[in-house]
Structure 1
Amino acid sequence: MKNKALTLTIISNITSNYGEGLGNVSTVQKVFRNGKVYATRSRESLKNAIMVQSGLYDDLKVTVDGAAQKLVNDDVNISNCKALEGGYMNTSGTTNIRKSSFYLTDAVSCDEFVNETRFHNNLYLASAYAKENKINFQAKKDRENEDKKENSSGLMPYQYEFDKSLKKYSITIDLDKVGVDENSPSQADTGEKIQRVLSILKTIQNLSLIVKGNMDNAEPLLIFGGIGEYKTHYFDNVVNVKRDTLNIENGLKDRVKNGYRVGLLRGGNFINEEDIVNEFSPLSISEFFKDLEEDVKSYYEE
């Protein structure tokens, strides 16, 4: 093997996920950087979505040893269980740990957080229940002789912060770790390794997220990366977007020249879209992933 990694840094229009609620109020997860607050979607949330949507969790088997954990034994191992590709810790008998073959960063908003609060209620459901059970929850309360039925309709107003904004995240796949487990003599064959990597790439290309009952199109709008010698999030520090504008600096241009590609979904998502086109001659998103798939096949088959 050539001991290389596949690394991608992606700009997508993504909603944040939620932290702890207080009563009937839900707040988005946030991080504090450079004196400002930014909304975020956690790497754990992204990884779980990728594992589920790629089909890598289709053969997931779970055991409980104090806590629920992935099942690993002589019959269920990295060669025949793709769910283990995301890593595991198994404490049945001897504790064995196998690190994930791919790593993600948090998806952090490109611009500081601006609170947009949404207010909702379950009025229709409560009305239907009240009608069926002859409950009048619109009547004025008589505090001394309050009919308890008036408060049993289940009417519940609630509110939550909402954020959907351009966010940056990175993913790096250690190609030589895919389908390999130092705790097991077995490993996946070449065809299986290729399919596992391609399933992750296909999912990133068409990623969707369910947030508060809404489907979120999280496809890449701008993407930098490819296969190279750097087993790190190579573009994470040089891809920066502010106010819908990509900061085109020498550091970014130099790294692209090291054998990497750029993909762009054209359509006015970035104010300086023409500058991006003139500087990088980007591929379309579909072309970017098609070429990357061929690179993955060549890497494993050569």
Structure 2
Amino acid sequence: MSKTLTFTAVMEAGSLNYGEGFSNISELKKFSRVNGNTYTFASRQAIRYDVVRLGNELFGWNLNTVSKQKGTVQFKDELTIEDSVEMDLFGYLKTGKKSLKRPATVRLSHAISLEPYNGDMEFLTNMGLAERLGDTANLANIENHVSYYTYTITIDLDKVGVDANNAIELSNEERFTRIHQLLDILKLLSRNIRGRQENLTPLFVIGGVYPVANPFFQGRIQLEGKNLKVDALVETTEFTFGGEAMKQFTKAGLTSGTFANEDAIQAALPEVASVETFFQEMIKAVANYYEVSYEIAKA
């Protein structure tokens, strides 16, 4: 039976993704809701970029994979998922006489702020450099927003390492290694932006390995002050598929001191442990699916 790993994470960070802006003002990527609030977000493309960046830095993922053909930047024709973890996990489209398309096996949502943006701005100058030349400093304004953010990832375990376009099916050991590396990256995720390194390590995470592909907890994360609302999360775990409740597959990880209602979270949700334990359990579940050996690391 095919299975899907999905989880929704919450992290705290500031000003994660800027848009085009105008004049000397840099605007955050954001959207408005019917309640009148404005929320900022980091696009799924931005998160994907940092996942691949860290894959290269930490595990040597091959980034020498693209070329420009007839004005289009795309993955090289001669390369396959055997050569590129990125192509395997995030898919590809190769255009030409015969176009080849392989959908992503790993799907990301935007990372959306859980607290509304209230128009905060930061005033910047390059005075330190300008004074060296006795020149006038240039001025700039950037929007600023520190908030909790949430995103969801969904991984189709059955399709990782498989490419029908090239009749490729990687070994289960290699498929497991790639997902293991991805989970390690997400556990230690960071974003380099405007001279800052923002820590995107999850403070709270909920999900599991399920018999159906669905991002169950996407859109279910809500804050009320310093409290994490648990009712929607509990109701989601009660969904059934094939006569089985999703609760039995669901685990959660929580960093102590993050939310004021920590005791209520622990009491309401199944198997709440540390974030590290959550990721170790996910890696173990993936190893079991691929039928490869894996021992949970000791603290």
| Residue 210 of structure 2 corresponds to residue 228 of structure 1 | yes
Give the C-alpha shift of residue 180 in structure 1. 1.1
| Residue 42 of structure 2 corresponds to residue 41 of structure 1 | yes
Confirm or deny: 8 A CA contact 1:26 1:160 kept in the other structure. Answer: yes
Confirm or deny: 8 A CA contact 1:110 1:242 kept in the other structure. Answer: no
Distance in 1 separating the partners of 2:262 and 2:115 = 18
1:120 maps to a residue whose letter is L
Matched residue of 1:58: which SS? coil
- Aligned match of 2:224 in 238, 242, 246? 242
Confirm or deny: 8 A CA contact 1:79 1:188 kept in the other structure. Answer: yes
Matched residue of 1:220: which SS? coil
| Residue 288 of structure 2 corresponds to residue 284 of structure 1 | no
Matched residue of 2:131: which SS? helix
Distance in 2 separating the partners of 1:261 and 1:209 = 26
TM-score, L = length of structure 1: 0.86
Structure showing greater radius of gyration is: 1
Matched residue of 2:184: which SS? helix
The runs of 4+ residues in structure 1 deviating greater than 4 Å are none
Matched residue of 2:166: which SS? coil
Distance in 2 separating the partners of 1:14 and 1:70 = 32
Within a 5 Å distance, the mapping from 1:1-302 to structure 2 comes to 2-15=1-14, 16-35=16-35, 36-55=37-56, 58-60=61-63, 61-65=65-69, 66-73=71-78, 76-85=79-88, 86-130=90-134, 153=135, 155-249=137-231, 250-254=234-238, 257-267=247-257, 269-280=258-269, 281-301=271-291
1:215 maps to a residue whose letter is Q
Give the C-alpha shift of residue 253 in structure 1. 4.7
Does 1 or 2 have the higher relative contact order (CA < 8 Å, sep 6+)?
1
Give the C-alpha shift of residue 234 in structure 1. 1.1
What do residues 66-97 of structure 1 show as CA deviations (whole Å, max 9, x unaligned)? 21111132xx2112321212111111331111
Aligned partner of 1:147 in structure 2 is none
Note closer, same or farther for the CA distance 1:253–1:299 as it changes in structure 2 (3 Å cut).
closer
What do residues 213-232 of structure 1 show as CA deviations (whole Å, max 9, x unaligned)? 11101110110011011212
What do residues 52-77 of structure 1 show as CA deviations (whole Å, max 9, x unaligned)? 2123783131111221111132xx21
Number of equivalent positions: 276
Confirm or deny: 8 A CA contact 2:237 2:250 kept in the other structure. Answer: no
Confirm or deny: 8 A CA contact 2:61 2:84 kept in the other structure. Answer: no
2:5 maps to a residue whose letter is L
Give the C-alpha shift of residue 176 in structure 1. 1.0
What percent identity do the matched residue pairs reach? 27
Give the C-alpha shift of residue 50 in structure 1. 1.0
What do residues 7-38 of structure 1 show as CA deviations (whole Å, max 9, x unaligned)? 00111113330011212110111012233211
Compute the RMSD of aligned alpha carbons.
1.8
